[in-house]
Amino acid sequence: MAVRRYLVLATIFGLVGGVLTQEDWAAQLRGEMDPARIEEFLRILTEKPHMAGTQGGYELAEYVRQTWEDQGLDSARIAPYDVLLSYPHPDSPSYVALLDESGNEMFRSSVAGEPQLDVDPPFNISGVPPPFAAYSPSGVVEGNLVYVNYARTSDFDLLKSRGISVEGKIAIARYGKTSRGRKLRRAQDRGAIGMIVYSDPKEVVGTGSGKTKKYPDGWYAPGTAVQRGHYLYGVGEGEPLTPGYPATDYAYRIDQSDSDQLPTIPVHVIGYTDAMELLRHMGGPLVPSSWQGLLDIDYRFGPEMEGPASKVRLDVNVETEVRTVHNVVGIIRGREEPDRYVILGNHRDAWTFGGVDPNSGTACLLEITRVLGEMMRRGWRPRRTLMFVSWDAEEHGMHGSYEWIEEFGKIMSDRAVAYLNVDNAVRDDYTLRARATPSLKPLLKEAAKMVPWPTSTQDGNTLYEVWSKRSPQTSASDSPPKISLPAGASDYVPFVRRVGVPILDLAMVHRYTITYPNFPLYHTTYETFHLQKTYIDPHFKFHRLMSQLWGEVALSLAESWILPIDVSEYAGTVQEMYNWLDNWYRDKFEGSAISLDALQSAVANFTQAAMMIEDELSSMENNTDPLVARMYNDQLMQMERAFIDPQGILYQKFYRHTILSSGLWDTETFPALGDAVRRMGSDWTDPGKEDKLKEVKQELSIITFFIQSAANILAKPASTVF
């Protein structure tokens, strides 16, 4: 499918663009990406800390704006919002202390943060925020510790089964498996008075042979490194004080106490050297082996303490403040369809230097715009508009992108073709990790075939080949690469969940993705240019690879005569979701006299409508009428929007995508229906479950309606669907 479209777009562009075809321009874009320039961009971007709402953050916004202007984009401007941010108190750093029986401090955690290290090129830690948990309330609490593992629901269930409660206690959790905000909310809901979160060596130190050295000698985390991060409990509201609406200067702001996102118990973050001091003084029963980390101690549940330690003090000084953040928006106006937008985005703000997160992505973005600027000087201009966005305040909770979508959501719903996100472009050099809405998966695979793998390996010569080998979807030897659905959290989230814009999210990652869902030095002071240059991508070849892939996908979406949005692929995914429900729950539905027939019919209708439009597109292969192309393209573009419920899904009014789950839900599919089904438990006949069963019935009818809506959008515009 996608291959055919490439050919069509080449011919058409050849007609209007003179000598050079679309393929020639795409080859120029791939060919001119320059690792040395990407390196230089990253060096500049990581010179100073640039947290959202700080002077360093503003200076970098201005740098990006100026760079885009100099590169020759049609426009580059700063789009500000006033959002609630969170910072460590400048004079009283937060800490955790161990107290003896007389209340004297036996030990206090490092308050200054990670020590300066002597590396080449050097980094200057003055201006790096000390470790803090953003949005924690300030306060001092004292109490015994309870170890809660990753603070998942299942972890608290296990504690409960052992008769151990966090009520009135301070919970200590390790990073991993679930988001910060959800760890904290679970502890808070169960009566904990405070929380400590630390990075266990199990998550941040290598255990195998080979790369196990710790920074500054390697890629792994030393015990002094601390992961910063925000602790909002966000389920799509956007910035805490302006839920659902843009944080403009005239916006009405709710009281902080009325925001459900802000935590109410203090929380602090530490590295494993400090955590060791706390954990080794804990008493109580030994934890099961799956709860053991890799510190050389026996991990215990608590809440007793081993003498002479008697309790822990948590002293947190973190402040919130409304400050201005700065998205930067650059535009290359489309030649024929200026009102269709292909958007490339990456955040710019970082907790510290951003050597990986997010500025490896920003460096790639600036290289793409540099080459496109050159191409414009040679007479190139895309068919559709290309938009480039450098988001601010992603780290504080995706505020820059959420507020922008809240301001421009209606326009994006009408005009956005796709949003292509790259955040941590290069965490390591092993394989590509991709997330995508189903309709963009075939395009991504085709683009990866055009990108050469930059080093010599038996796994293949192109990105596609190496990626398929190293991240296969199935165990078959000729398996295509795995592409996940868009769960997780970065700036693509508001696009897909609020508006239903097709998205991609791309990163080069390490081999042990399962063990380390993030990279060890994530959000620590040591996320430096030096880390990237010395241990991750010394020659910036993988940054070039990411720029090539990102640019290839963008150009294809911006130039194709017919949009490379694959609705059949989407129908296939929805069919799999239906099959999952049918396999696991048909008996339950039947036992409760609920029919799945209508849902099955909607899925079949959607599949058929997708096939029919694909057929029509093949038969009009040589049609050059732009109005006809536009008609089909609008159907393809609007298909994903069909799944958006403006009222939000059950219990989540700001989560509007009815098909794709976010990872916030227990099921992979149909988030609201899947959760309603899970809430039923194993016995659907229990009369006490009447209300829950009503929810299942309602959600089933809602999802059926939205899938049928997608089928209707793909049907012939003047057909009999009405």
Ligand X SMILES: *[C@@H]1O[C@H](CO)[C@@H](O)[C@H](O)[C@H]1NC(C)=O
Which of the following is catalytic: 47, 465, 634, 668?
A: 634
Shortest distance (Å) from residue 555 CB to ligand X: 23
How far is it, in rounded angstroms, from Cα 620 to Cα 615? 9
Cα R_g (the chain), whole angstroms: 26
Whole-angstrom distance, CA of residue 637 vs CA of residue 343: 14
Q: Would you call the peptide bond into 671 cis, given omega within 30 degrees of 0 as the criterion?
A: no
Identify any residues that bridge with 230 across adjacent strands, giving them in sequence order: 134
The least CB distance from residue 354 to Zn ion, in Å, is 8
Position among 602, 659, 660, 696 found at the interface with ligand X (CB under 6 A) = 602
Q: How far is the CB of 722 from ligand X (least distance, A)?
A: 11
**Is 601 among the residues that bind ligand X (CB under 6 A)?**
yes
For 630, other C-beta atoms within 10 Å of its C-beta total: 14
From the list 300-308, 366-374, 456-464, 599-607, the region that binds ligand X by CB under 6 A is: 599-607
Helices (H), 54-118: 55-71
Min dist CB 525 to ligand X, Å, is: 13
Give whichever of 289 and 619 is closer to ligand X, judged by the CB atom: 619
The one catalytic residue among 595, 618, 701, 719: 595
Which is closer to ligand X, CB of 127 or CB of 517? 127
* CA 305 and chain centroid, separation: 39
- Rule CB under 6 A: choose which of 188, 605, 607, 652 binds ligand X: 605
Q: 208-217 burial by CB neighbour count: b if 16+ within 10 A, else e? A: eeeeeebbbe
Residue partners of 160: CB distance under 8 A and separation at least 6? none
Residues making contact with Zn ion (CB under 5 A): 357-358, 423
CA distance 166 to 31: 58
Question: Residue 696 CB, nearest distance to ligand X (Å)?
Answer: 17
Helices (H), 560-596: 567-591
Q: Provide, rounded to whole angstroms, the least separation between the CB of residue 175 and Zn ion.
A: 15
Has 510 been annotated as catalytic? no
**Residue 352 is a binding residue for ligand X (CB under 6 A):** no
Q: Is 598 in the site for ligand X (CB under 6 A)?
A: yes
Residue whose CB is less far from ligand X, 14 or 139? 14
Maximum separation of any 2 CA atoms in the chain, in Å: 86
Which does residue 472 touch among ligand X, Zn ion, none (CB within 5 to 8 A, set by kind)? none
Nearest CA to 387 among 433, 427, 418? 418
CB contact at 8 A, 634 and 562: no
Residue 155 interacts with which of Zn ion, ligand X, none, CB < 5 to 8 Å by class: none
- Selected from 289, 619, 647, 682, the binder of ligand X by CB under 6 A is 619
Token code pair at residue 601:
């019919």
Quote the least distance from Cβ 90 to Zn ion, whole Å. Answer: 25
Nearer to Zn ion, 231 or 643 (CB): 231
452 binds ligand X (CB under 6 A): no
List binders of ligand X among 679-718 (CB under 6 A): 704, 708
Nearer to ligand X among residue 622 and residue 647 (C-beta)? 622
Binding status of residue 622 toward ligand X by CB under 6 A: yes
DSSP 123-190: ---TTPPPS-EETPPPEEEEE-EEE-TT--HHHHHHHHHTT---TTSEEEEES-SS-HHHHHHHHHHT
What number of residues does the chain have? Answer: 722
The interface region with ligand X, picked from 120-128, 287-295, 324-332, 504-512 by CB under 6 A, is 120-128
# chain residues binding ligand X, by CB under 6 A: 12
Dihedral over Cα of 534, 539, 545, 550: its sign: positive
Cα dihedral 53, 58, 60, 66 sign: positive
Nearer to ligand X, 8 or 545 (CB): 8
Q: Which does 357 bind (CB under 5 to 8 A by kind): Zn ion, ligand X, none?
A: Zn ion
- Buried b / exposed e over 533-563, threshold 16 CB at 10 Å, is bbbbbeebbbbbbbbbbbbbbbbbbbbbbbb
Q: At what angle do helices 22-32 and 359-377 cross, to 10 degrees?
A: 130
662: number of Cβ within 10 Å:
19
- Residue 15, interface with ligand X (CB under 6 A)? no
Interaction partner, residue 1 (ligand X, Zn ion, none; CB < 5-8 Å by kind): none
Say which residue the tokens 């130190």 belong to: 205
Q: Taking contact as CB under 6 A, which single stretch among the options 34-42, 381-389, 452-460, 617-625 is the one that binds ligand X?
A: 617-625
Q: Residue type at 56?
A: G
Active-site annotation holds for 394: yes
| Closest CB to ligand X among residues 532, 708 | 708
Mark whether 625 is an active-site residue: no
Closest CA to 273 of 305, 289, 296: 296
Whether 230 is catalytic is: no
Candidates 543, 657, 695, 699; catalytic one: 657
Cβ closest to ligand X, residue 405 vs residue 696: 696
Query: Where on the chain is the footprint of ligand X (CB under 6 A)?
Result: 124, 126-127, 598, 601-602, 605, 619, 621-622, 704, 708
Catalytic residue annotation: 394, 595, 634, 657
